[in-house]
C-alpha cells in the first residue's frame, strides 16, 4: 500500500480556514493499526478519518495524533463530504458502521446532517480538583458523560467561555475525560469550547460529538428541540442541532482545502 488518497476538509465551516480541519483517507482494505496511527500523527490534525467499503455502507474509524477514538463528529462530516462531493456517492444518505454503532450523514444542498446517538449527562456533585484548577474558575455546575467520556462545565456567561485560558496540563490529568465549557449565548442558544489535551488536541476548533450531550441539556433548559450552536475557538464554527428522542441531528457545511496523495512506503 505505497500510496493513499488524502483529503483535508474544513468541517462545520462557513469557508476555508474556518471550522475544524480533518484529514480523510479512503481505503480499500484495512492496513495495520500502527500505520493508521502513524498517518494520523504525521497529519497532526485534530482527527484523521479512515473508511473502507462494506457492501452498501462504510466502516469508519477516527484517530487523533495520539490514539483512536470512539466517536468524532467533524471527521464524520468530512468523510461524508468526500464521499458526496469527491467520490461520486449517489445516494442522499451515506451510512457508516463505527465503534459507536451505526451512523449516517444526509445531504441537502450544501448542508450535511449527522444522525448521532443522544448522550445523557449526570451531575458531578464534587468536580475533580484538576478540572477546577484547569479552568481557573468555579463553574455554575459540572456534569459528566461516560459514553464520551467528557466533563461538561456550565459557565455563567458567554464572556467567561470566550475569555477562558485553561491550564491544559491540569486538564490533561483528567484523562480519559475531555473538558467542555458551555453557556447560553447572546446570538446563539449554545456557546461552547472543548479541550482534550490528553488526546493531542489542546483545543478542538469545532466538535460535533459534544453536541450530542449539549443539545439535549440546553434544549431541556430552554424548552426547544432545535438549537443554534457556536463553538468559540479561534477558528470558530456554527452548528444546527435538533433533538429527536434518542438521536441528535447535527448539521453544518464543509469545504475542501486539500486533495492529494500520501506515500507510506
- The pLDDT assigned to 265 comes to 77
Q: What does the pLDDT average to over 135-145?
A: 96
The verdict on domain 122-244 having CATH code 3.20.20.70 is no
pTM of the model: 0.93
Closest CA to 58 of 76, 33, 42, 37: 76
- Long-range Cβ pairs for the range 171-174 (8 Å, 24+): 171/130, 171/131, 171/134, 171/195, 171/197, 171/198, 172/197, 172/198, 173/130, 173/198, 174/128, 174/130, 174/131, 174/134, 174/198
Output the average pLDDT for the chain: 96
Q: How confident is the model at residue 66 (pLDDT cuts 50, 70, 90)?
A: very high
pLDDT digits (tens, 9 = 90+) for 149-169: 999 999 999 999 999 999 999
Residues 47, 108, 120, 203: which is the catalytic one? 47
Q: How confident is the model at residue 1 (pLDDT cuts 50, 70, 90)?
A: low
> What pairing do the DSSP bridges indicate for beta strands 20-26 and 47-54?
parallel
122 carries an active-site annotation: no
Q: Is 217 helix (H, G, I), strand (E, B) or coil?
A: helix
- The pLDDT assigned to 2 comes to 80
Q: How confident is the model at residue 148 (pLDDT cuts 50, 70, 90)?
A: confident
d(CA 27, CA 38): 15
Q: How confident is the model at residue 88 (pLDDT cuts 50, 70, 90)?
A: very high
Homologous superfamily, domain 3-116+251-263: Diaminopimelate Epimerase; Chain A, domain 1 (3.10.310.10)
- The pLDDT assigned to 44 comes to 96
Can you tell me which residue has the cell 490533561? 172
Q: How confident is the model at residue 147 (pLDDT cuts 50, 70, 90)?
A: confident
Helix or strand (DSSP H, E) at 220: helix 211-222
Share of the chain above pLDDT 90, in %: 95
Q: Which three cell numbers stand for residue 29?
A: 482494505
pLDDT digits (tens, 9 = 90+) for 24-43: 999 999 999 999 999 999 99
Task: Give strand ranges (E) for the chain.
Answer: 3-11, 20-26, 47-54, 57-63, 68-69, 93-98, 101-108, 111-117, 122-123, 141-145, 150-154, 178-183, 190-196, 201-204, 226-231, 237-244, 247-252, 254-263
* Domain assignments of the chain as residue spans, ordered by start: 3-116+251-263, 122-244
d(CA 36, CA 19): 24
Q: Is residue 154 within 8 Å of residue 142, measured between CB atoms?
A: yes
Please determine whether the domains at 3-116+251-263 and 122-244 fall in the same fold group of CATH: yes
Can you tell me which residue has the cell 484495512? 30
- Classify residue 245 by burial, with Cβ atoms within 10 Å: 0-12, 13-18, 19+: exposed
Q: Is residue 211 within 8 Å of residue 250, measured between CB atoms?
A: yes
Q: Is residue 103 within 8 Å of residue 95, measured between CB atoms?
A: yes
Amino acid at each position: 500500500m505505497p500510496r493513499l488518497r488524502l483529503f483535508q476538509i474544513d468541517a462545520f465551516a462557513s469557508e476555508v480556514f474556518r471550522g475544524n480541519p480533518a484529514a480523510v483517507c479512503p481505503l480499500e482494505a484495512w492496513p495495520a493499526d500502527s500505520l493508521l496511527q502513524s498517518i494520523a500523527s504525521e497529519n497532526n490534525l485534530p482527527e484523521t478519518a479512515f473508511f473502507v467499503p462494506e457492501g452498501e455502507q462504510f466502516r469508519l474509524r477516527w484517530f487523533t495524533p495520539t490514539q483512536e477514538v470512539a466517536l468524532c463528529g467533524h471527521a464524520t462530516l468530512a468523510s461524508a463530504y468526500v464521499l458526496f462531493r469527491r467520490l461520486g456517492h449517489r445516494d442522499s444518505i451515506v451510512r457508516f458502521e463505527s465503534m459507536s454503532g451505526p451512523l449516517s450523514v444526509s445531504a441537502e444542498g450544501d448542508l450535511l446532517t449527522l444522525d448521532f446517538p443522544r448522550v445523557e449527562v449526570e451531575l458531578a456533585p464534587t468536580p475533580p480538583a484538576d478540572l477546577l484548577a484547569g479552568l481557573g474558575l468555579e463553574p455554575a455546575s459540572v456534569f459528566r458523560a461516560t459514553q464520551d467520556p467528557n466533563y461538561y462545565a456550565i459557565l455563567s456567561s458567554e464572556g467567561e467561555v470566550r475569555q477562558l485560558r485553561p491550564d491544559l496540563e491540569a486538564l490533561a490529568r483528567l484523562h480519559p475525560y475531555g473538558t467542555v465549557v458551555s453557556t447560553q449565548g447572546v446570538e446563539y442558544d449554545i456557546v461552547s469550547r472543548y479541550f482534550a489535551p490528553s488526546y493531542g488536541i489542546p483545543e478542538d476548533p469545532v466538535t460535533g460529538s459534544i453536541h450530542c450531550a449539549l443539545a439535549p441539556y440546553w434544549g431541556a433548559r430552554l424548552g426547544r428541540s432545535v438549537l443554534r450552536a457556536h463553538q468559540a475557538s479561534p477558528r470558530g464554527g456554527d452548528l444546527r442541532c435538533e433533538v429527536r428522542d434518542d438521536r441528535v441531528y447535527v448539521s453544518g457545511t464543509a469545504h475542501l482545502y486539500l486533495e492529494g496523495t500520501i506515500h507510506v512506503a
